[in-house]
Amino acid sequence: MNRLLVLSGVLLLAVSLEAAPRRRSVAHPSVPKQVTAWTLEIMTAGGIAPSIRTGVVLQSTGAAALVNDAGLPVCAAAMKPADLESLGNVVANAQPESWERSYGEDGCCDLIRTSVKLTRTLLGEQPVAFETVWFDGHGPLPAGLTALYEAAHGHDSLRARFDPSCFGNTLPDSWSLELTNEGGVAYRHHRIEVDSFGNVAVQPNLRDPECRSTIDAGDTQSLGALVKNANAAAWAPSYVRPENPDGCCDQIHTTVRLTRNEAGHAVTYVTHWYSDHPTLPADLETLGERLTPLFQRFGPACGPIF
């Protein structure tokens, strides 16, 4: 009898378990990482009248700058908190990982070239840069990229609102200074660029993208005075020794590019040399000596410098 009762109980339990609805495992969606910092650069070039085009550089700090067709800053501005929050949301949803390197064919015949560069830092990660380009007549763009362009550079955008205030408010002392070292026995590729807004772009090696920082107003003004007073027009295009034109053997190749506003126009000076160079002009050597410590200061935070 007892055995019969036990068997009956087991049978009833089995039936109830079979009848009970089975629970499905629920896959919880992964939460996207927070964007902690970003810089957005949108430039246009070409067309019938390229000199009238302006690009824009916007940062998560709220800083904004318009740049001319040569990439030289011509006007500084600041985003309102509401605009910064709105653009930050667009950046967070831009999905730059899905962007193609380019959209459509190469441009010809005075087509306008648009380039977009988004440098983004996710929580706990290093900055990563995403770039793409297109010409007039391009194919469809990803929704996130379109939204980013329209918010920053389109018809009713931050650039369009900043543009009118720049007329009559240009920056006669705007400048940018770039130094690149590459080569050597243990190959290196070190690049640093500083501009008149105090923005610093550093690329520590060829494997890692550049990262951005800023220097304070005092350092910017001090470096700007050297840039302004440099007799760059007297620099030789090259200080490479004729007897060693290729920098043998394993010498470091240095290139300096200085762009500054001269009489309302952006003028660029470029020169280069190898380790065995002859004596450099004092102003050129001083500029290099000022940029090298800045690279040593910011470079290691971006990646290995060798």
Rounded-to-10 torsion of CA 300, 269, 165, 197: 20
**Residues 181-214: tens digit of each pLDDT:** 999 988 889 999 998 878 888 999 888 877 878 8
What CATH number belongs to 35-166? 3.30.1560
The pTM score is 0.56
Q: Does domain 175-302 have CATH number 3.90.1200?
A: no
Lowest mean pLDDT among 27-31, 90-94, 225-229, 276-280: 27-31
Cα gap 64→76, rounded to integer Å: 6
Calpha distance 119→209 (Å, rounded) = 9
| pLDDT-derived band at 108, boundaries 50, 70, 90 | confident
Beta bridge partners of 256: 179, 271
Look up residue 151 and give its two tokens. Answer: 């918010």
CATH 3.30.1560 domain range(s) in the chain: 35-166, 175-302
* 3-class secondary-structure state, position 15: helix
